[in-house]
Amino acid sequence: MFMKKVKAEVISSKMIEKDIYDLCLNYEGAKDAKPGQFVGVFPESDAHLLMRPISICSFDDKTLRLVYRVVGFGTDEFSKLKEGDSIEILGNLGNGFDVDLCKGKTVVLMGGGIGIPPMLGLAKTLKDKGITDDVHAFLGYRDKNTFLDKEFEEVCNVHLASDNGEIGFHGNVVDALKSSGIKADVIMACGPMPMLKGIKYYAEGENIDAYISLEERMACGVGACLGCVVKTTKEDHHSHVNNARICTDGPVFDARDVDI
Ligand SMILES: Cc1cc2nc3c(=O)[nH]c(=O)nc-3n(C[C@H](O)[C@H](O)[C@H](O)COP(=O)(O)OP(=O)(O)OC[C@H]3O[C@@H](n4cnc5c(N)ncnc54)[C@H](O)[C@@H]3O)c2cc1C
Ligand code: FES
C-alpha cells in the first residue's frame, strides 16, 4: 500500500466551471490508488501546515486527477498552480469503495456537488475492469452549471438533477432515483451530509446496500488527532466506543454502520 508524503509535479490546472478546478499531477502513488480514496494536499504557506483532503477523481499508472471547489485559503492557493509547479501530497489515504461488491449488479452511483468527482473514478473503474455494465450515475448540481457529466456519459448512464430545476430533475438525487423507477442492488455515493442522510434512510427502507463517503472536516488525515470521528451504530471492539475515524476507517462506510 502506497502511503507517504511526496512532491507531485503539476501537469495541468484549469478552471472547468465557476470556482471548480481540475488539477492533473504526476504522482508516484497513482498506480496504487483506489476510487474513493483521497490525498492530503499541502498549501505552500508556512502559516497553514494542515493538509487539505481532496478526493481522487481519477487516476492511471502515473497521473492523479483532483477536481475541487475553491472555498478558502488552501483551495485558492491550489487554483493558482501552473504547469511545471510542484506541490506536496500525502497519500493515498482512506479505504475507498470496494468495487467487488458491484459484480454483476445494478449499481447506482450518486454524487452531489463537489462529491461528484470521486464517483467518476469509480464509474471508470467499474467499466474498465468489466465489473458490471448496468451502472447509473445520478448527479446533483445547484443549477445548469454542470461539470464532469459528459465524462460520466462515456462510461455509464447519466441522470442529472438540479436544486433550481434549470437542468434535469428538479430536486435532489434521491428523489430523482425514486422517480426514475430504477431498482438499485447497490448504491455508492458522495456528497453533502443531508444528501447522504437521505440515501441512508432510503436504502434502509428499501433494503438496498449503500456505501457512502463522508467528506467532513479533517486535520491530520492519518488517524492521530480524532478530529474526524463519526458516531457508529456498532461498538468498536478495541476502544469500546461507538466511534470511527473518517480518515482511516473511512471515508467510505456501509450506510447502516454510521449514525448520521
Ligand atoms: C475525505 C475528503 C475528501 C474531500 N474531497 C474533496 C474534493 O474532491 N473536492 C473538493 O472541492 N473538496 C473536497 N473536500 C473538501 C475540502 O477538503 C475542503 O473544501 C478544503 O479542505 C477547504 O480548504 P480551504 O483552505 O480552501 O478552506 P478553509 O479556509 O479551510 O475553509 C473555507 C470554508 O470551507 C468550509 N470547509 C472546509 N472544509 C470543509 C469540508 N470538508 N466540508 C465542508 N465545508 C468545509 C469551512 O468551514 C469554511 O467555511 C474533501 C474533504 C474530505 C474530508
Ligand atoms: S483527521 Fe486526525 S484522526 Fe482523522
Asked whether 165 lines ligand 2 (CB < 6 A), one says no
pLDDT of residue 179: 97
CA gyration radius, the chain: 18
C-beta neighbour count of 129 within 10 angstroms: 12
Residue 48 has pLDDT above 80, yes or no: no
pLDDT of residue 2: 76
Q: Give the ligand whose atoms come closest to the C-alpha of residue 223.
A: 2
Asked whether 64 lines ligand 1 (CB < 6 A), one says no
Residue 43 has pLDDT above 80, yes or no: yes
Mean pLDDT value of segment 227-235: 90
Which atom in ligand 2 lies closest to the alpha carbon of residue 218?
1
Three-class DSSP category at 77: helix
Q: What's the total number of domains in the chain?
A: 2
Contacts of 128 (CB under 8 A, 6+ apart): none
pLDDT top residue among 66 and 223: 66
Using 50, 70 and 90 to split pLDDT, how confident is the model at 155?
Answer: very high
In a domain, 42, yes or no: yes
Please tell me the distance between residue 64's alpha carbon and the centre of ligand 2 in angstroms: 23
Q: Which of 198, 112, 109, 201 is nearest to 161 (CA)?
A: 112
Counting beta carbons within 10 angstroms of the beta carbon of residue 128, is it exposed (0 to 12), middle (13 to 18) or buried (19 or more)? exposed
Asked whether 117 lines ligand 1 (CB < 6 A), one says yes
Please tell me the distance between residue 259's alpha carbon and the centre of ligand 1 in angstroms: 21
Rounded to an integer, what distance in angstroms lies between the CA atom of residue 25 and that of residue 10? 5
* 89, 22: one domain: yes
Please tell me the distance between residue 33's alpha carbon and the centre of ligand 1 in angstroms: 21
Residue 45 has pLDDT above 90, yes or no: no
Domain end, chosen from 56, 76, 93, is at: 93
Cell numbers standing for residue 226: 480524532
Please tell me the distance between residue 245's alpha carbon and the centre of ligand 2 in angstroms: 6
Domain end, chosen from 77, 93, 109, is at: 93
Q: Give the ligand whose atoms come closest to the C-alpha of residue 226.
A: 2
Please tell me the distance between residue 222's alpha carbon and the centre of ligand 2 in angstroms: 6
* 131, 81: one domain: no
Mean pLDDT value of segment 112-122: 98
Give the CATH number of the domain where residue 111 resides: 3.40.50.80
Rounded to an integer, what distance in angstroms lies between the CA atom of residue 20 and that of residue 29? 24
Residue range(s) defining the domain that contains residue 63: 4-93
Give the CATH number of the domain where residue 21 resides: 2.40.30.10
Domain end, chosen from 58, 93, 128, is at: 93
